[in-house]
C-alpha cells in the first residue's frame, strides 16, 4: 500500500485545477511569465492552470497566501527574485518565511534596461552618469514598489556610479511606465518587457542593458560594459515555489512538467517576444540560487539602509 501511495495521490492531484499566485499586478516580467507558463502547463498536464494576481504589500500578500495554501500542489507561487530574496532583509517582520516555500523550478530570467524620458539631455550612458553627478537629487527614478528589483537595483546603480536620485515607488511596472512616458519621473531601471516597445518606437531612451550580452529585442542598445560601466550587471529571475510540506512526488511531477513546458517552441517564441529568457533549473539548483542571492542582496540592502517604508 505504501508503494502505491504516491501514484494514487498524484492521480487525485491531477484531477484538480492548479492556481499560480502572482505577487504583481497584470503586465511586466512576473505576470507575463506566469501566463506563458500556465498556457503551456495546461497542455503538458492536460488540466486547467490559472493565474491569480495578488499584487500589493511588496508581494507579501501573495507570499503569505502561498505559505498557507494546502500542501497538495494545486496552489503555487510564481516568485519574483527581488521579493523572495530581498524582503527578508527589508522587513523587520514578515507574514511569511523562505523556509515555508520549497523550490519547484526556475522559469525565466531577464536582464534590465536603463531607460529614461526623452527630456533627459544625455545621449550616452557616460553622458547620463555625468548628468546625474551634475544634478544630484534632481531626477526622479521609478520602481515597481519598495523592495522591488528596480528599487534595490537602482540603489546598487547609484552606489556603483556615485550618483543620487529621488525614489518614487509605484504598484507595479504599469503605472511606473505611464509616469515615465509623461515625464513625471525621468528614469526607470527595469526589465525589458515593461519598456521595450516604447524604446523601439522612440518614446523612451535606453542607455544600456545590464547583462553580459545585448538584448535581442534591443539590438542597438549597448551593455553596461560596452557603454563604459564595466562590472555592473543586474538580472531578475522568476521561479515556481510550493508550500513547504508538499509531497516530494508532487514536486517531482511539477518540476518535470515545467521542464517540458519551457522546452516547447511556443514558450520559447512567446518569452522572446516579451524580451525575457526561459531558463529551467531543478529544485536543488533553484534552492542554491535563492541561498546565494539572499546573502548578496541582503548585504546590499542593509548597507544602503533600504527599508520597506
In SS3 terms, 94-163 reads as: CCCCHHHEEEEEEEEEEECEEEECCCCCCCCHHHHHHHHHHCCCCCEEEECCCCCHHHHHHHHHHHHHCC
Looking at residue 11, its pLDDT comes to 46
- Residue 250 scores a pLDDT above 50: yes
78-112 pLDDT, tens digit per residue, is 999 989 998 998 888 999 999 999 999 999 998 99
Average pLDDT (141-166) is: 89
pLDDT band, residue 45 (cuts 50/70/90): very high
Amino acid at each position: 500500500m505504501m508503494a502505491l501511495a504516491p501514484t494514487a495521490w498524484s492521480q487525485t492531484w491531477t484531477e484538480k485545477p492548479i492556481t499560480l499566485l502572482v505577487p504583481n499586478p497584470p503586465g511586466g516580467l512576473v505576470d507575463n511569465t506566469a501566463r506563458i507558463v500556465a498556457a503551456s502547463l495546461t497542455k503538458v498536464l492536460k488540466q486547467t492552470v490559472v493565474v491569480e494576481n495578488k499584487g500589493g504589500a511588496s508581494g507579501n500578500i501573495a507570499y503569505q497566501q502561498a505559505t498557507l495554501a494546502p500542501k497538495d500542489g494545486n496552489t503555487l507561487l510564481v516568485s519574483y527574485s527581488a521579493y523572495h530574496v530581498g524582503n527578508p532583509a527589508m522587513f523587520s517582520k514578515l507574514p511569511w518565511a523562505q523556509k515555508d516555500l520549497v523550490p519547484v523550478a526556475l522559469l525565466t530570467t531577464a536582464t534590465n534596461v536603463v531607460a529614461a524620458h526623452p527630456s533627459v539631455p544625455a545621449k550616452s550612458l557616460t553622458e547620463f552618469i555625468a548628468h546625474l553627478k551634475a544634478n544630484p537629487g534632481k531626477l526622479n527614478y521609478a520602481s515597481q514598489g519598495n523592495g522591488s528589483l528596480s528599487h534595490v537595483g537602482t540603489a546598487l546603480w547609484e552606489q556603483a556610479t556615485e550618483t543620487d536620485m529621488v525614489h518614487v515607488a509605484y504598484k507595479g511596472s504599469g503605472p511606473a511606465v505611464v509616469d515615465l512616458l509623461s515625464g513625471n519621473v525621468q528614469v526607470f531601471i527595469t526589465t525589458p518587457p515593461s519598456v521595450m516597445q516604447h524604446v523601439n518606437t522612440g518614446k523612451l531612451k535606453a542607455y544600456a542593458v545590464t547583462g553580459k550580452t545585448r538584448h535581442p529585442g534591443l539590438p542597438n542598445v549597448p551593455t553596461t560594459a560596452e557603454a563604459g560601466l564595466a562590472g555592473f550587471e543586474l538580472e531578475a529571475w522568476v521561479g515556481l515555489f510550493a508550500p513547504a510540506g508538499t509531497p516530494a512526488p508532487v514536486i517531482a511531477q511539477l518540476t518535470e512538467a515545467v521542464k517540458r513546458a519551457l522546452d516547447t517552441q511556443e514558450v520559447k517564441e512567446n518569452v522572446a517576444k516579451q524580451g525575457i529568457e526561459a531558463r529551467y533549473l531543478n529544485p536543488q539548483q533553484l534552492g542554491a540560487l535563492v541561498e546565494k542571492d539572499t546573502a548578496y542582496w541582503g548585504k546590499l540592502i542593509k548597507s544602503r539602509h533600504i527599508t520597506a517604508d
